[in-house]
Structure 1
Amino acid sequence: MRQHRAFLLVAATALAPALLLPTPAFADPSSAPATATTVAVSSETPVDEMTEDELRAAITAILEAEATGRGVTEAATRALNGTVDDMRTFLTTGYPAAQAEDDLVRLFRMLGPARQNGDKRVTQEITELLDRNDPAEIREWLETGYPLAQAEDDRFALFVLLGTAQKAGDTKLVQEINGLLDRMDADEIRAWLTAYRAA
């Protein structure tokens, strides 16, 4: 295990300078996005047949979702303050359009910090998503692809830091990183790197 790690460490150290992209971060790079979950209208009743109360309940559920973005929030609020037809329109076409807009905003907000931190896989995948601009693909990536890509970049960042710490003789940092690599918990590694970079 440690022998394999030593090989990866050498590779990471050699590649590190090439992976640091000089593009500046976008505004508010500290707002790291959590994985979003689309709130589906969960009802056996078609939207066109929902009562006003059912429409309000469905839109309220969307508003209360943890990952609801600004575009969805504003569109949902307008629908709730409008007519029954406004609420139906929001649930059938307005919500998907607003969600797609929010997802694009999230991608741009993620791209800056990813470039700043040298997160090569996240940067590449976001750039490709923006080029294709497929709302369904973007939504799926935010829910499932991003955590995998970020975890890979975070592990690489640990190997780079490990090499630097070993060269500097920083025993404490070496122990911390080795512990993280032994446990290989993606959430723990992400939290540790965030705290380390903010220190």
Structure 2
Amino acid sequence: MKLNRVSAAVAAAVIAPAVLLSAPAFAADGNKASAASAPDEASEAQKGDAQTSAGKGNAQMGDGSKDSASSSKNASDEDNRFAILKIINKSKPGSRVYEAAQEAMNGSAEDRVRFLKEGYELAQFADDMLRTVQISSIGGKAVRKAALEALRKDTHEALRQFLDVGQYVARDEDNRVEIARILHTAKRGSVLFDAAQEALDGSPEDRTRFLESGQHAARVTDDRIHALRILSAGGPHVREAATKALRSGNAEDVRRFLDVGQYEARKLDEAEHAKDKNNKDSKGDEKAKGGRESKGGKATDDAKQKQDGAMDAKKSNGTTDAKPAVATSSTGSSDAQLAATGASSATPWAIGGTAAALAAGAGLVIASRRRTASEH
């Protein structure tokens, strides 16, 4: 394992100076160095054995190297602590790396060595796998596909490749698809349409920026333009509602006016328009009725005037509509005269003769019909 090779190289680099300094000239100090490197306090007998071993020279070089390695082991534990502290500071609380590092710091020197050699990598692998799964759950189609491929390989290198590079390439592919969908639904010539086209032709950062904030700003601008157009062509209530929404400076108010408010205001305008029309129609009917009544009254007056004129004409001719009155002469004669008509006393006789002639003619017709019937 590469991590094991690196740790061995580091250990060799630390041990080398100690081996070089364990020459016979420093044999007298071997007793002191051996006592300081032991994890526990040594007994007097052990100290004597250490002095004897240190005085044997090159033949006992292995024992001196072992003591020097013990000394460097204590020195490297401080370095291990410092390295683990750095890992804790840059790790996210609650992650597997953070918890494993805390356990190593609270454990023994061997625990810290074990964490740096293999524990850190295993914990990082677990965190990377969890992060890949989380990204896949909220990503688009391309991101999910790339994450699934990395998880199937089940190697730390595949996960790191996805997290460092692959997820961003796949995300830009998903962003292109989403922007193309917005472009298809947007009205040509609108602010949203132009902004989407510009982002699609730009860089991956431009596409990300458009989806995160640019599209929302473009929609707000388009909504305000639409509200202004409705205001310019609407009735009193529509204009009032549009002005109120635009002056609020709140994008939600403008959106609500476009979705609901304009239709409510338009109904009020239509209701008032219908009411005014009915009032005008009723006034027109009353005016026409008054005209007909005045015309009828004028006709009655004209007829009355004509009748009065006829009566005046009759009076001027010496006639009236009154019934004939019988007047007696001054001599008491019984002959009657028709008053104010101009008819003489022979008129009744003429009428009687006419009636008799009509009766005789009718009799002759009846007799002729009977004669004809008998012949047949």
Whether these two folds match at TM > 0.5 is yes
For the pair shown, the structure with the greater C-alpha radius of gyration is 2
- Identity level (%): 28
Matched residue, 1:82: 107
Partner of 1:72: 97
Tell me which residue corresponds to 1:145.
166
The aligned amino acid for 1:172 is V
| TM-score normalized by the length of structure 1 | 0.64
Q: Which residue of 1 aligns with 2:121?
A: 96
1:107–1:126 CA contact under 8 A, matched in 2: yes
**Structure 1 contact 79–87 (Cα < 8 Å) conserved:** yes
**1:60 shift after superposition:** 2.0
Partner SS, residue 183 of structure 1: coil
Alignment partner, residue 128 of structure 1: 149
Residue 195 of structure 2 is aligned to residue 176 of structure 1: yes
Distance in 2 between residues matched to 1:133 and 1:82, nearest whole Å? 30
Q: Do the aligned partners of residues 69 and 61 (structure 1) sit closer, same or farther apart at CA in structure 2, a change above 3 Å counting?
A: same
8 Å Cα contact 1:69-1:99 kept in structure 2: no
Q: What is the correspondence of 1:4-153 to structure 2 with a 5 Å cutoff?
A: 45-46=10-11, 51-65=76-90, 70-114=95-139, 119-153=140-174
Can you give the 5+ residue segments of structure 1 that lack an aligned partner in the other structure?
Answer: 1-40
Counterpart of 1:189?
Answer: 207
CA change 1:60–1:187 in 2 (3 A) is farther
Shift of 1:176: 1.9
User: How many angstroms does 1:170 deviate by?
Assistant: 7.3
Q: Does 1:164 align with 2:185?
A: yes
Judge conservation of contact 1:62–1:68 (CA < 8 Å) in 2.
no
Letter in 2 for 1:133: D
- C-alpha separation in 2, matches of 1:138 and 1:188: 27
CA deviation vs aligned residue, 1:104-150 (integer Å, no higher than 9, x gap)? 11111111111xxxx22111111122222222211122112211121
Deviation at 1:86, TM superposition (A): 1.0
More helix by share: 2
**Separation of aligned partners in 2, 1:151 and 1:45:** 42
Per the TM alignment, residue 83 of structure 1 is displaced from its structure 2 partner at its CA by: 1.5
Q: 1:46 to 1:194 in 2, by over 3 A?
A: farther
Distance 1:192 1:80 in 2: 46
- CA-to-aligned-CA distance 1:80-106 (integer Å, 9 cap, x gap): 121111111111111111111111111
RMSD: 3.1
Which blocks of at least 5 consecutive residues in structure 2 are unaligned?
1-5, 15-72, 220-376
Greater RCO between the two (CA within 8 Å, min separation 6)?
Answer: 1
**Residues 147-183 of structure 1 deviation map (CA, whole Å, 9 limit, x = unaligned):** 11212221222112111214xx571211221232233
Counting matched residue pairs gives 150
